[in-house]
Amino acid sequence: MKIAPVWRALEKHGGFELRLVHTGQHYDDNMSKVFFDDLRLPRPDVYLGVGSGSHGEQTGKVMIEFEKVLAADGGDLVVVVGDVNSTMASTLVAVKMGIPVAHVEAGLRSFDRTMPEEINRMVTDILSEILLTHSPEAERNLRNEGVDPRKIHLVGNVMIDSLHFYMPEAEKSRIVDELGLKPKTYGLVTLHRPSNVDDPAILSEILAALSTVGAACPLVFPVHPRTRKVIESKGLHVSPDRVRLLDPVGYLDFLKLMRYSSIVLTDSGGIQEETTALEIPCVTIRENTERPITIELGTNVLAGMSRERIEKEALRLIRDGVKGSRIPDLWDGRAAERIVGVIERHLDGRSP
């Protein structure tokens, strides 16, 4: 969802030779192939196929394979997005080979170094030549860490670019009707972060909270493979009449489900942003967020991971909704265009 609008804008410009590298960190068809189809991204020029593994294994595999790609044809700039292991690994390889990196979604900080994503963000940002931020607090975070201000560019949020671009197509999805749902009468759930789903005791508490919330507002829950594995292997209980477990769904189906939900409960960073843009109440099941602007200006509420807090915040939002929210500046669907302008100016100052 983050690379698609950037790729589209670079192609439209016409002045760049592009290569798309898929590391294979997300390898399940429902978590990868379906998204390429939905987003109308081209087939990757290179597929590294690194698959699953520990953080060290995954990072090491990406570095080994991506180094081969850059050794064959390094190009003038490597563009990375987000905060996954592939982001950090590709950045390390490129910088060590003397190729500058542009980081889309730079400067996000949860200030929780127990989160693997936080380490990935910090390493990527300190090494990147071009830091493309989505909000003012991201720029402040980078400046506070001593980053040269000339490297920082406030461009807006590419997730919202995708939201605007694909929503007309998502409206054609039949998933709401196929599931027998009525618009604005159900809630939507996503859970995938290791801190929430790897420990059965924590996940059990969250599922119990979802059952309580589901009594007030029935929930649909497309289950990440990582989460389903724990639920099934540990025999965790989910009330089927309150929380409906689904297989993972594609991006367009998910957008349709989110658009017509009355509340979203999630631990995803991107969904915190999308719900703010759609003005849908969102309960974030985490102790912190690297997207505080969605709380300050948007529809997001940080509920933590305890059953009582999740129930309290969700039931309050179901009852009262969110008042006084607004969409942050530059979340206007044109972030990718601004990114292309920054990249063009950077490359114009370099030898081909």
pLDDT digits (tens, 9 = 90+) for 208-244: 999 999 999 999 999 998 899 999 999 998 999 999 9
* Average pLDDT, integer, range 164-185: 97
- Among 24-38, 92-106, 224-238, 315-329, the minimum mean pLDDT is found in 24-38
Q: Which residue has the higher pLDDT, 25 or 349?
A: 349
User: How much is the pLDDT for 92?
Assistant: 98
pLDDT per residue over 241-264, tens digit each? 999 999 999 999 999 999 999 999
**Residue 306: how many CB atoms within 10 A of its CB?**
15
pLDDT at res. 184: 98
How many angstroms separate the most distant Cα atoms in the chain?
Answer: 63
Check residue 175 and report its DSSP letter.
Answer: H
Q: What is the H or E stretch that residue 101 is in? A: strand 101-104
Mean pLDDT (the chain, rounded): 94
Please give the angle made by the CA atoms of 82, 88 and 93, to the nearest 5 degrees. Answer: 135
> What is the band of 287 on the pLDDT scale with cuts at 50, 70, 90?
very high
Please identify every residue annotated as catalytic: 192
The pLDDT score that the predictor gives to residue 49 is: 86
Q: What is the pTM of this model?
A: 0.91
The span from the CA of 226 to the CA of 215, in Å, is 26
Could you give phi then psi for residue 81, rounded to 5 degrees?
-130, 150
- pLDDT: which is higher, 52 or 66: 66
pLDDT band, very low/low/confident/very high, at 352 (cuts 50, 70, 90): very low
List beta partners, residue 221: 245
Full set of structural domains in the chain with CATH = 3-157+331-348 (3.40.50.2000), 166-320 (3.40.50.2000)
Mean of the pLDDT values across residues 338-345?
A: 97
**pLDDT on residue 120:** 97
pLDDT tens for 292-310 read: 999 999 999 999 999 999 9
pLDDT given at position 32 = 63
In terms of C-beta density within 10 A (0-12 exposed, 13-18 middle, 19 or more buried), how is residue 341 classed? middle
120-151 pLDDT per residue, tens: 999 999 999 999 999 999 999 999 999 999 99
Q: Is residue 351's pLDDT more than 90?
A: no
Quick: pLDDT tens for 8-45.
999 999 999 999 999 986 555 555 676 788 888 999 99
| Residue position matching structure tokens 């998910």 | 254
Residues of the chain with pLDDT > 70, as a percent, come to 96
Alpha carbon distance 9, 7 (integer Å): 6
Going 154 to 159 to 163 to 165, the CA torsion angle's sign is positive
Give residue 53's pLDDT: 82
Task: Give the pLDDT confidence of 177-195 residue by residue, as tens digits.
Answer: 999 999 999 999 999 998 9
